[in-house]
Amino acid sequence: MTNKPQLLANEYRLRFTKLENYRNNVWRILCEKYFSKYIAADSTVLDLGAGWGEFINHIPASKKIAMDLNPDSENHLAQDIEFINQDCTENWQLHSESVDVIFTSNFLEHLPDKASVDFTVSEGLRCLKKGGIFMCMGPNIKYVNGAYWDFWDHLIPITEFSAAELFKIVGFEIDRCIPRFLPYSMSNQRNPPLFMVQLYLKMPFIWPLFGKQFLIIGRKP
């Protein structure tokens, strides 16, 4: 039987070990300059598919939770972060209406089938407080095209429209739908200097030229 947690651990080590410092610096900028404006300081935040904690380690919040099947994730998290080591396609180990913000990046496309994606987003709705938001970022197959399949564990092709439709079917209202937000990947060696990341975030008019990831923000009514 396949040891999925161990496979996840191996994938992360293969892809990101040499880039860990750079990725942390990029996410520090993303959190400070963009994502933090959606998150109140007294929020409870869940990072779904947290990986090595690049987002949850850097986002300001009063309570921070990371969920991932990869057992190595805990080793990369700050001490104040609660770690839930579980498969997101099973009932979440969280109470209903206990979270203010859910964030996920480059995660839903790794789930095994659409029923798993449906369940995961539905669990997000259950766990969010009324008025809470679910921020979902991922590669947009319309703009990534064949490179979408360069990663062995990419299984579900998603666009901004299909993601937004799913969120609405489940019961979310859509606050924002950005088809082209960030460039595609930080798992190669062609990554821009950090000052360019800050500059990019300040110039949304150029996002349609370089962005290949969508950003959806759904709100629980």
Q: Is the pLDDT of residue 45 over 80?
A: yes
Q: Which residues, in sequence order, are bridge partners of residue 67?
A: 48, 84
Angle at 32 between CA 26 and CA 33, to 5 degrees: 85
Q: How far apart are CA 60 and CA 147, in angstroms?
A: 33
Q: How far apart are CA 33 and CA 123, in angstroms?
A: 29
Q: Is the pLDDT of residue 72 over 80?
A: yes
pLDDT at position 191 is: 78
pTM of the model: 0.92
Q: Is the pLDDT of residue 24 over 70?
A: yes
Q: What residue segments make up the domains of the chain, in order of their start?
A: 4-219
User: Cα-Cα-Cα-Cα dihedral of 34, 215, 39, 93, to 10°?
Assistant: -140
Query: Which 8-state DSSP code applies to residue 61?
Result: -
The domain defined by 4-219 carries CATH number 3.40.50.150: yes
pLDDT at position 21 is: 87
